[in-house]
Structure 1
Amino acid sequence: MTSTQNPANAAEVHPRAVLDKLPRYAAGKPPVAVDGLESYKLSSNENPLPPIPAVLEAIAETTAVNRYPDPVANALRSELAEFLDVPMEDIVTGTGSLGALNQILATFAGQNDDGPADEVVYPWRSFEAYPISVGLSGAADVRVPVKEDGTHDLQAMADAVTDKTKIVLLCTPNNPTGPSLTTAEVEWFIAQVPSDVIVIIDEAYQEFVRDPDVVNGIEMYQKYPNVISLRTFSKAHGLANLRVGYSISNPELTQYLRVSAVPFGVSSVGEHAAIASLRNFDQVKERVQSLVNERERVTSGLKELGWFVPEAQGNFIWLQLGENTQEFAALAGEQALAVRPFGDEGIRVSIGEPEANTRFLELCSVYPKPPAFPKQG
């Protein structure tokens, strides 16, 4: 049905002013069909492999979708508690890790009745939903540029913390640039931050990490009461469409997070699928390792071509192509490959099917403007 309302009589409804200041979330685009080529989507950091068979069975067997799910996902939290060896009470589920993050922001950072807005410090470029979520919470965002090699500038982030700072976000591996934070780096940083500032360790890609020195958010939350670990089933488990994530923190924080948690946020379908995936994690690990192997093949191939690639610990790589970003993205599209360009900064390429990764490397081998290595000193 089309609207027949006279524009002259339209209600003068206006959104909050903050909406004009926020960027629009740009999801990865699907590939364009090219004659003679199979198309591949490498633009959304999705797991290209389907969920394991037990998960598909659990999804098919969940038929009572006319009933509301458990509002706090007790069965999943119990399974996670055993899997991670943490108290069930320390886990709060959300609609993906982004939903869990929004719950944290709604609880601990925002606009105050008696003064200026709280501040949230985070690296940039990083996950592009951060400024949207922070802005909608009513808080003020403080973006700290990452270094030329794509790593967090922890000293600058520590310097950015003020008495208005309520939350600091650490993204490891950092999306879209790739590098992770080590335990030593994070512990140093936590020591610089007041104990009443929450430090969120966003670990959406932690199952893909192979560097033994990379920080483990579970260990950090167990050691520091102001740390929250943020995780998801979207990536390694291949459940992106079902929106299942969670945060882990101490009872001093979870008692408040439960108030802001969205009731029925995790569907029964998502809960049963996540439980089945955890119970068959050995199969999940095999699939993740196959993607890690492909990641290593792609990064090694690029380095052999003389391309600079930041350390990649997720299921994606970053090409700091600068002013050549859009040109390269267009060329990839001509090869039926959808990649994710970010303005004139660079391109994130998700690790996909072996055939897609091979075609991507072939494109790079003939592209004459590779990413330059960072300046020394």
Structure 2
Amino acid sequence: MLPRIRPAIAALAPYRQGKQAGPDAFKLSSNENPFEPLPSVVAALQHTTPVNRYPDATAARLRERLGLRYGVRPDEVHVAAGSVSILHQLILATASVGDEVIYAWRSFEAYPSLPLVAGATGVQVPLTAESRHDLDAMADAVTERTRAIIVCTPNNPTGPIVTSAEFAAFVERVPADVLVVLDEAYAEFVTAPDAVDGLAERIFERHPNVVVLRTFSKAYGLAGLRIGYAIGNEKVLDAARTTGIPLSVTSAAENAAVASLDAEHELLERVAVIVERRTRLVDGLRAQGWDVPDAQGNFVWLPTGDKTDAAAAVLVDNDLVVRPFSGDGIRISVGEEASVARVLEVASTLR
């Protein structure tokens, strides 16, 4: 006889990773950085702590470095195995049975599982017709049971940002004892001048209930090492640290992150290349008649609706491994240079 599993967990589908690609296909399903690590980052990995030794459980060197970068104390920085790990910790720390967690939908597909695992209830607020967060509706959804709200900007998988003015007005409407998580996993790719920037604007200082999430997975190309960080109020981050799995950040990941910060100017040059490819991809798709929302991450969104599965199958048959969301649309990551023309060629046959 098997042990009894919580019904909510038994009914919950596990997180589904983007489909892997064959040797001749472009993998455009996981929003990965198409560039290989810089030589300096590879060198840092070769000089890491021996794997028979535990890493520094606090990732102190990286937290100090990030603290200097953003003008905060190391205790106002939290590092974990990817920013989604920190989000998981924050939800566990704030929400339980009878509580609610609000997030936009469609957004990052891991969001629905987070409140359920904590025993709480997820409250989904539909995106606008432009595939953007409806922050007024999200504020209206707050009740006495609300414990946390997740705002994803740029929104994954649709692409648009939340503006600075929109977020400022939103936070003023949210009760000060409700956690607001500003998930900025794709911040480095943003070119919209009016986009909110939780770190540059130091929103967490004026509003201690706001925590800003960032990651080294996307722009910095360390997805396989799993490392992300949060900046916010020390007491809030202490709660996240309490719920986290100890020693989950490896020495290799910490060393690579520090080396990436040392080489940031080189990495941001690569980001600029990805942004230029994104622009060509969006312009080309719109020229074909696709209603592509504003793309501010390293991906574009095709609103294919009930034709999503069939369209994704055609793309895959043409060695373009993409991320379909059945009934809604297809997210296509910006990949290698050669993939841009291939995507446009195949997409033109789907109109």
- TM-score tier by shorter-chain length is over 0.9
Give the structure 2 partner of residue 228 of structure 1: 211
> What is the alpha-carbon distance in structure 1 between the residues aligned to residue 22 and residue 240 of structure 2?
42
Question: What residue number does 2:258 align with?
Answer: 275
SS at match of 2:89: helix
1:32 shift after superposition: 4.8
Matches within 5 A, 1:4-23: 11-23=1-13
Between 140-149 and 15-24, the greater mean CA deviation after superposition = 15-24
Distance in structure 1 (CA, Å) of the matches to 2:2 and 2:284: 57
In 2, are the aligned partners of 1:23 and 1:131 still within 8 Å (CA)? no
**Residue 91 of structure 1 aligns to which amino acid in structure 2?**
V
Q: Considering only aligned residues, what root-mean-square deviation do their CA atoms show, in Å?
A: 1.2
Q: Kindly indicate whether residue 293 of structure 2 is the aligned counterpart of residue 303 of structure 1.
A: no
Answer with 117-126 or 257-266: which moved more: 257-266
Correspondence list, 1:185-200, <5 A: 185-200=166-181
Task: Give the whole-Å Cα distance in 2 for the aligned partners of 1:135 and 1:95.
Answer: 20
Whole-angstrom CA distance in 1 between matches of 2:191 and 2:37: 22
Q: Name the aligned partner's letter for residue 25 of structure 1.
A: Y
Q: Which amino acid aligns with 2:42?
A: L
Q: Check conservation: 1:179, 1:313, Cα contact below 8 A.
A: yes
Runs of 4+ in 1 over 6 A off after TM superposition: none
1:61-210 alignment, distance < 5 Å: 61-111=47-97, 117-210=98-191
Deviation of the 1:45 alpha carbon: 0.6
Structure 2: which amino acid aligns with 1:66? N
Alignment-mate amino acid for residue 53 of structure 1: P
| Cα displacement (A) at 1:106 | 1.3
Aligned equivalents of 2:261, 2:158: Cα separation in 1: 28
Letter of the 2:3 counterpart: V
1:26: how far off?
1.4
Deviation of 1:63 after TM superposition, in Å, equals: 4.7
Work out whether residues 32 and 221 of structure 2, in 8 Å CA contact, stay in contact via their aligned partners in 1.
yes
- For residues 14-36 of structure 1, the C-alpha deviation after alignment (integer angstroms, 9 at most, x for no partner) is 21221133233111102356xxx
Of the structure 1 ranges 297-306 and 282-291, higher mean CA displacement relative to structure 2 is found in: 297-306
> 1:201, 1:229 within 8 Å by CA — same for their partners in 2?
yes
Measured after TM superposition, the shift of residue 85 of structure 1 is 2.2
Q: For residues 270 and 16 of structure 2, what CA distance do their matches in structure 1 show?
A: 28
Match of 1:58 among 35, 41, 44: 44
TM-superposed CA distance for 1:326, in Å, is 0.8
Which deviates further from its counterpart, 86-95 or 344-353?
86-95
State how far apart, in whole Å, the 2-side matches of 1:45 and 1:39 are: 15
Quote the Cα distance in structure 2 between the aligned partners of 1:71 and 1:167.
Answer: 26
The CA deviation at 1:366 is 2.4
What runs of 5+ residues in structure 2 fail to find an aligned partner? none
In structure 2, the residue matched to 1:245 is: 228
Which residue in 1 is equivalent to 2:238? 255
1:147-191 Cα offsets, whole Å, 9 max, x none, are 121101111111110000000000000000100101100011111
User: Any idea what SS the aligned residue of 1:349 has?
Assistant: strand
Distance 2:241 2:320 in 1: 42
- Determine the C-alpha separation between the residues in 2 that align with 1:83 and 1:70: 20
Contact 2:301–2:331 (8 Å) recurs in 1: yes
Partner of 1:349: 332
Distance 2:213 2:273 in 1: 24
Determine helix, strand or coil for the equivalent of 2:230.
strand
**In the alignment, does 2:348 pair up with 1:365?**
yes
> Which 5+ residue runs of structure 1 have no aligned equivalent?
1-10, 112-116, 369-377
Aligned to 1:8: none
Contact 1:32 1:333 in 2 (8 A): no
Aligned residues: 349
Q: Specify the code of the residue in structure 2 equivalent to 1:13.
A: P
Paired with 2:184 and 2:33, the residues of 1 have a C-alpha distance of: 16
CA distance in 2, matches of 1:72, 1:244: 13
Identity %: 46
